[in-house]
Structure formats: structure tokens, C-alpha cells
Amino acid sequence: MSWLLILCLQFFLLISHVTISCSSQFLGHLNESSYLLQFKASFNTDITDTSCKLAHADVSTWQNGTDCCSWLGVTRDTISGHIIGLDLSCNGLQGMVHPNSSLFRISHLQTLNLAHNRLFPTQFSSQFGAFVNLTHLNLSDTGMRGEFSSDISHLSNLVSLDLSMNDDLKWTQDVTLKRLLQNATSLTDLVFYYTDMSFITPSSFLRSLISLLWLLLVLKELV
């Protein structure tokens, strides 16, 4: 009967491990939750001030003292507990993403979607290049402006990059785009229509597209 007792004990321990609370499991990463709350506090939110009709994650669920695993738009790694996904698209966020934003302290992000928010007059920050684990980045229709930083070429794990509908976002160096496409060897989705590519020469751009399997490109100024 001893083997049966041992089996029952192992089963009990397994169930206890599986049902452990999310808060306890991720206790070591509460600082990441704090960074999210700081990031949220840096914006005004007006969901009526957006033309986006897509479903959105309600950031009102982000409250201090609540279980961070119930926060909509947030994805955590089930093993490490680190925040690996953030989807705040179509949330009516209004404000700037500063270079010292707490967002850039969430270093394990793999997916980041800030599309269809009013983030102007945010300059495209070199800090985005620090998200070296990113596979999906969507900053479309955010009102970002300025020049692309060459640091974006550090995102070597990118699979999808959407920077479209930012009229004042400028590609000013052929080398930046070339390095991005050379380093991000898994990149298959590249969307940047209605960005300013007037400084990119068509010949150098076309030479850089060899690795892409799919491309949506409606250029505003490059003809």
C-alpha cells in the first residue's frame, strides 16, 4: 500500500503546484507590474477619441493591489512570470512615450502593440532598439514623428514590424533599413505605408527585400 500512498502524495503536490495563485507565482516580478502602472499613469485615456473599431484591452483593469494576471492586454510567460506581451491598441491613449518611460524597463517583451493611439508628439526613440527579444512590433497610426534611429536594426528577432500611417516618421538613411533587413532574418511582415521614405533610394530599397516573404507597401513619397 506504500506505493499507493506515495502516488497520492505526488498527485497532491502536483495539484498544489498547478493551482498556486498567479500573484504568488509572479511575486518576483512585481516591479514589472509597477512599471506598467507608471506607464499607464503617463497617459490620458479617452476611448471615444479614436476611429479604431477593433476590440481593445481595457486598461482600467490595471489597478494597484489587484492580481496583475487579470490585467487585460498583458501576457506573462507561464514559466518565468516575466511580461512578454503588451497589447494597448485602440485604447484612446493620449500622451508621449518619453525616452525614460517605464515601458522601456520591461525588458522581456516579445510583442508590443501600441497602434491607433495618440502618442504624438513622440519622437521615435532609440530605446525601442533595446527590446532585443521583440518578435512583433506595431506602432501604426500613433502620430510618431522624427527620424528612425539606427538602433531599430538591433531587433534581430523581429517577425512583424508595422510602422504605417505615421506621416512625419522619416527614414533618412538607406543603411538603417538595410541593416534592419540584414539582421532580422526572420522578418516576414513589413508594413510602413504613409511614412516618409523620400530619402530612401528605390534601388537600395529593392536590394534589401530579398529576405521578405510578404510585404505591404504603399509608399507616400517614394516613386
Backbone angles phi, psi at 38, to 5 degrees: -65, -40
Give 187-190's long-range contacts (Cβ < 8 A, gap of 24+).
187/158, 187/159, 187/160, 187/161, 187/211, 187/212, 188/159, 188/160, 188/212, 188/213, 188/214, 189/159, 189/160, 189/161, 189/162, 189/214, 189/215, 189/216, 190/160, 190/161, 190/215, 190/216, 190/217
CA distances, 213 to each of 23, 36, 56, 151, 190 (Å): 41, 34, 29, 23, 10
**Residue 93: strand, helix, or coil:** strand
* pLDDT tens-digit series, residues 25-82: 554 466 888 999 999 999 888 766 656 766 677 788 888 888 777 888 999 998 888 9
Backbone angles phi, psi at 17, to 5 degrees: -70, -40
Residue with cell 476590440: 55
* pTM confidence score: 0.79
Question: Do 147 and 170 touch, CB atoms closer than 8 A?
Answer: yes
Domains of the chain (ranges; CATH) run 29-216 (3.80.10.10)
pLDDT at 3 over 80: no
Q: Greater confidence, 183 or 115?
A: 115
Q: Greater confidence, 22 or 14?
A: 22
* pLDDT confidence of residue 105: 93
* pLDDT confidence of residue 214: 46
Residue 134 CA from chain centroid, whole number: 7
* Mean of pLDDT over the chain: 77
* pLDDT confidence of residue 81: 86
pLDDT at 217 over 80: no
pLDDT at 206 over 90: no
Cell output for 164: 504605417
What is the percent of the chain with per-residue pLDDT over 70, rounded to a whole number?
71
* pLDDT tens-digit series, residues 114-151: 999 988 777 777 888 889 999 999 999 998 888 877 78
Query: How many other C-beta atoms lie within 10 A of the C-beta of residue 126?
Result: 15
pLDDT at 88 over 70: yes
* pLDDT confidence of residue 48: 64
How far is it, in rounded angstroms, from Cα 58 to Cα 154?
31
pLDDT at 84 over 50: yes
* pLDDT tens-digit series, residues 140-181: 999 888 887 778 888 999 999 999 999 888 877 666 777 787
Question: Do 167 and 196 touch, CB atoms closer than 8 A?
Answer: yes
CA-based torsion, 135, 141, 144, 147: positive or negative: positive
